[in-house]
Amino acid sequence: MNKKLSVQQAFDLAKERYAAVGVDVEQALKHIQQLSISLHCWQTDDVVGFESAGNQGGSGIQATGNYPGRARNIGEVQADIEEVLTHIGGTHRFNLHAIYGDFGGKVVDRNQILPEHFTGWMEWAKEHNLKIDFNSSSFGHAKSGNLTLANPDKDIRDFWIEHTKRSRAISEAIGKFQEDPCIMNLWIHDGAKDLTVNRYKYRQILEQSLDEIFATPYKNMKDCIESKLFGIALESYTVGSHDFYMGYGVKNQKIITLDTGHFHLTESVADKISSLLLFTPEIMLHVSRPVRWDSDHVVTLNEEIIELAREIVRADALNKVHVGLDFFDASINRIGAYVIGVRATQKAFLQAFLEPLETLRAYEANEQHFERLALLEEAKSLPWNAVWDYFCLKNDVEIGEDFIPAIQQYEKNITSKR
């Protein structure tokens, strides 16, 4: 049977089945089409960036693996992302770190970066119907050490304050150019390997640094602050803990970034959504898969990400929660990693959009707990995959596993020759 015809027939049957439990499939398709996922640039090149100052190799971030084909310049990053876009439906965003500027081979230290170093990225993104998000980069630099914005050394601290201020100014320029707010994420690795007696002091310094950084208001960018549980070689103490940033974010009405790998493996990130939304304006998600804590594995369709998507939809928070990916697996085909991660995230949200939520809410309101649990269980086996295949068909991207040979061909023709 013709594949397109079989997909259409399966979709028609699925639509009837969902209608029987009160779900509007067309509305769910509209939602998934509008869901913008921010694709992270660092999966293409293992978080190396394009500085010429020779700063890489410092503390903060580590990608593992040496699979051939890493992007070596901006053109190769862009080519890889363009390839990824041919395998995913919807309209998306692109998440850029400060170390990925177009510095023209010149030494431009991080306290000297300007919007002009990212003009090419803005123009490229516009050409490909992408919106750009941004990140300051405090890791992998000669002045990173164990402490950056929380450093008692004023010279080092001021260096990173200036870098972050400039990152905000660049984000403002990007947001103005694309006529859509650029979301700028602030994450630092600051901490200590062993026992720490000045916890309060470092957090007090970090608070003062943040106050100085955020002193200038902008209209075309949004500030996010991201916590971490611990860092490699900084296992005993993290200055920017979840409690610290949650308190700072609530007090100063900043967006909290929840990275799914930055919490204990038994902790529910989904459960944090409803609490934070009561007290902070918005939430930024960095979605990864923590096999052993923050191992940043490629996102797959597991129960944790499905529950995260459900909680966002159940809270009617689609306009308050931004979704981005954050993994860097250098052990497998990098383009394949992107496509798996994006499609898995979309599948999770599609299942959330297809949940018979109104009926479930009615059961709960009426204290019909048996009925609620029964429908939750039955909903797991509703034919969401037929709706997914139809979404792919309508977006003219591969159905099922058909993207595998296409990515293999890109590797054969492009990445294997790098």
Active-site residue identified among 92, 141, 286, 297: 286
* Active-site annotation holds for 117: no
One-letter amino acid of 197: V
Q: Report the alpha-carbon distance of residue 184 to residue 161 in Å, rounded.
A: 15
Q: What is the DSSP letter of 133?
A: E
* Active-site annotation holds for 194: no
Active-site residue identified among 190, 207, 294, 329: 294
Active-site residue identified among 131, 163, 189, 228: 228
* Active-site annotation holds for 296: yes
Active-site residue identified among 262, 272, 322, 347: 262
* Active-site annotation holds for 124: no
Containing 323, the helix (H) or strand (E) segment is strand 321-325
Residue ranges of alpha helices (H) inside 267-329 are 270-277, 303-314
* Active-site annotation holds for 187: yes
- Residues ≥6 apart with Cβ < 8 Å to 76: 44, 45, 418
Q: Report the alpha-carbon distance of residue 353 to residue 388 in Å, rounded.
A: 11
* Active-site annotation holds for 163: no
Q: Report the alpha-carbon distance of residue 78 to residue 44 in Å, rounded.
A: 9
Q: Report the alpha-carbon distance of residue 23 to residue 356 in Å, rounded.
A: 6
Active-site residue identified among 190, 296, 304, 311: 296
Active-site residue identified among 226, 304, 389, 411: 226
Active-site residue identified among 259, 282, 311, 398: 259
Active-site residue identified among 326, 329, 355, 411: 326
Q: Are 233 and 59 in contact (CB under 8 A)?
A: yes
Name which of 313, 279, 288, 284 is nearest 221 in CA terms.
284
| Cβ atoms < 10 Å from Cβ of 199 | 14
* Active-site annotation holds for 326: yes
* Active-site annotation holds for 242: no
* Active-site annotation holds for 262: yes
Containing 357, the helix (H) or strand (E) segment is helix 357-365
Active-site residue identified among 121, 160, 187, 388: 187
Q: What is the DSSP letter of 50?
A: -
* Catalytically active residues, by annotation: 187, 226, 228, 259, 262, 286, 294, 296, 326
